[in-house]
Structure 1
């Protein structure tokens, strides 16, 4: 049977998952009258809420008697670890580019990985129905990007398709057609069938699946040989050790699901059930003469955060899993399938240092854990510092901002204050396109300020570039915080009286504890306030003064915004129903003592 393996890669929001929807519909995976909704592949709750792809997924369709395995990949740089490993399963890539925005930082990152693996590219310029779109200029920009990434002659001769995923057409010219068949024909024509070398069985495990019924399932591509049901095999692990085991069941992808088969030939993707203790990157090889494939290498993490048990006065009120053993087991389970994540135990045993790709990468992990019923405390994100040639170095990123022209000066001012240097400034239609080189530390907390200063108009994207010498101190938050003085329930009376001191993160009637951050102070420096005071009632009433209090609504911060907001002496308490910010040391006297001793040491 003819097979094509393609991965769909693009910057975030350029239409990957919508394209996969159209491919599934065009190849009649669903019945005519079946209700499917949009973004079929984003099946996880978090993905649907945020409108982003987090985990790469597989689907398989049949078009003109050729089986096409489609791999949908995430677009955020924070999930680059997902993309890097699944590209190993593909022979060609569909690079999707927005007809207005053109190639963005993430496009560059993923394309570079694909070209290094020698995959055949097909360029799709999407959203040509948008106003202000410039498909011809974007085509030239994509060609330039290929050239800058040292593409081979063959890769530079890429076919280009134009269209609109939302309207359901793609063609090799700008004239609209009825469906996406020209694109599917192009995939059959330009993507080569899998290359199969002679020899014994080899299959590299590139992702994991889990079923409560079957346990852990290994997913990968058979690079040579044939794998059969009930066959004895060798599992070659990353450290070179070999385990002898047996395949229980085999599945291939079909439509959105899997189909059980008795054997899978080289070149196809499959899921293997019944192997114990495997990790991503391990090779399933011949029982007698095992030969390993090269281990998958993934870029290093650039950020870390301290995860510890929840030790606030509200400990255990909300979650099911609250002990350090629960926390450790869950984090270790995550490292099995999340290649870009690392976990290191700390001295006390109650806390773990978790290394990841960025704030979104770590934020999604915390959000997933709290939905599963975990309670934990997380500290401020820190960048990973290295000593290179005797110099202290930190990670730098390329930051790209598209913003209306009237806000460009504010953006430049914001970024340069955070030690960023401008590399490119050009006009794209009504927008100003800015590129900066900025330390990763400077990005923490930048998004919120950027959106405030540009009235929500700025579009930001960034990707890791390299380690460079330390840039010095970057100014943090300008204002201090308001802290609760004692445990209790906040009252409308107290909140009303304190409104001139700052803006609040809580509403009247919320349970709070001493040391909890309840608002932002109007000035620098922290302020401890009494928020649980009720109004003393008498039987005398003054006309007009007892009118209902006018309290401004509380400021709602998302988990990522809290992670960017807190400072080094603060942390976030995360439980299934609440996200609270607090001081690491809750007692005011203890905090003052520590501040004094730190000053004395300095």
Structure 2
């Protein structure tokens, strides 16, 4: 049958490695296309699309978002996607809505691990990328070399001839200009907008085919409930229309569309009619979910399900049972925890929640440590208290072999410190893929087991005085690589509850690095420092100096302490061992032993290693 083409719509997703400038470029497209009125107040003048608090604090995109601009009579639907592989679930489902992609590559950094990841997904959907070499204003820009790297990447990923013949636009998102050649003069972003209209394919559909729309994203509103966001692939849809919803299992149910919303700039506006090629939001279907097909009553036909890569990392989330439980949090029960985790599944398609033998604990699986830590941070800010275990990779059984997830790791270190990078990766079963030295830096590419990367970033930064830059993303499953040593030092464990004193901390300074400061509340079993040797020891950090009426020559000297170690949430999760937990509360997080008393820990060790217990 003949296909109908819509000239006045373009659907384009922006994909790139993290921090290559996607969101900043979208800001310029919104501003220069006249989407905002001259007198319109914008809450944030930079990274407008990063509306989530965590996104703005971290400078990363976590959730894929839709916006739309009108340019030269064409509506351009733009999908801003995350760059981190941990949020690959977001990338995969929104690519289904696009007809083309803008592949952004930093003019200095070039091809990076997530560039490979997001491009592989785009090519898998048979999308033709328009390559944008961004940040050409950088003094260390190397545009031609980067273009060669991009072409090599296309070849590595088995791109077809049409995809290999990609068009190139040079841009500076920060300065708001784009051009088709480095020699061109340009002061605005219009060349990029023109390239989108010219090179991104127009939506086409069969005019006689019934309504087919697939849900790729979800939102929630207290008044209308779940909001489904997706693209119409054929037919039309109207407010008040009766439709059939076909879920992942193939079950059909009848519903009535309450409202339709079209994307206009950063907002949504009600509309009565939407056609094939449009990206819209709709309400009226109570339990609408990712991958659902919305189709006609007369001829209901399901669309292929959206494939999401499986999780590679798991952790156990449990109810906080420390002596300080309930002091900070609003939601502290197992019922609260269970409801919140299963509510997260409504939109977080890359997440998996499994019940455990204990009603107070749940096994949570995700795409990576960042993916899970963002969930924990959101829960903490919402008032939840919980405790989480050490992250563990998920192994697979393939053809009778034990397989483990592998990561593609890229590390840039100063030339004189390349030995540290090789040593650290080698100890974690990493294999060098390539090594290249330019100016004062060495660029490494490794393949390494995912479990070997847990805690690696901290050690790499410590051994290179903070100058190393590391990125990684999921590569494939390969046969088990053998045992990997995680943490070589033991920890200092508090023997009592109370307030840490400067006197006690000073007396322990030669035992290792402290994690607490004077005046901080501690409890028995809480981890208060790192031991300088391999074994764990119990210490007293609440000991006070005995008061006497005898004045000593050194008695008036003030106590001088070394700075204590501060942990970020990801650092804390990477640091702990199997017998330890991270306690999360709205105000703070603490490291602790699973069993708080020394007697409990000794009994557990005896049960686990009975052969080491001496015969009386």
TM-score above 0.5: yes
The one-character-per-residue Cα deviations of 1:192-251 (angstroms, maximum 9, x if unpaired) are 111212311110000001122222100000010001000011000000100111100000
Q: Show structure 1 runs of 4+ deviating over 4 A.
A: none
The one-character-per-residue Cα deviations of 1:58-113 (angstroms, maximum 9, x if unpaired) are 11000001000010000001001100000001101000001111111111111111
Aligned residue among 18, 24, 31 for 2:24 = 18
Q: Normalised by the size of structure 1, how large is the TM-score?
A: 0.98
2:83/2:114 contact within 8 Å kept: yes
Q: Does 1:556 align with 2:566?
A: yes
Q: Aligned runs of 1:302-451 on 2, under 5 Å?
A: 302-451=312-461
Q: Does 1:95 align with 2:128?
A: no
* CA-based RMSD: 1.2
CA distance in 2, matches of 1:354, 1:426: 39
The one-character-per-residue Cα deviations of 1:318-360 (angstroms, maximum 9, x if unpaired) are 1011111111111111112111110100011110000101100
Give the stretch that moved more between structures: 534-543 or 144-153. 534-543
Q: Aligned runs of 1:149-548 on 2, under 5 Å?
A: 149-175=157-183, 176-198=185-207, 199-548=209-558
Q: Aligned runs of 1:56-75 on 2, under 5 Å?
A: 56-75=64-83
1:527 deviates by 1.1
2:59 maps to which residue? 51
1:233/1:285 contact within 8 Å kept: yes
1:578 deviates by 1.2
CA distance in 2, matches of 1:273, 1:244: 14
CA distance in 2, matches of 1:500, 1:329: 46
2:67/2:77 contact within 8 Å kept: yes
Q: Secondary structure of the equivalent of 2:170?
A: strand
The one-character-per-residue Cα deviations of 1:436-471 (angstroms, maximum 9, x if unpaired) are 111111000000001111111111111111111111
CA distance in 2, matches of 1:558, 1:188: 44
Q: Which runs of 5+ in 2 are unaligned?
A: 1-6
CA distance in 2, matches of 1:303, 1:485: 33
2:129 maps to which residue? 121
CA distance in 2, matches of 1:139, 1:209: 38
The one-character-per-residue Cα deviations of 1:275-315 (angstroms, maximum 9, x if unpaired) are 11121001011112210000111111111000000011111
Q: Normalised by the size of structure 2, how large is the TM-score?
A: 0.96
CA distance in 1, matches of 2:468, 2:240: 56
1:132/1:429 contact within 8 Å kept: no
CA distance in 2, matches of 1:195, 1:523: 67
1:163/1:174 contact within 8 Å kept: no
CA distance in 1, matches of 2:123, 2:432: 28
Q: Which runs of 5+ in 1 are unaligned?
A: none
Q: Does 1:4 align with 2:5?
A: no
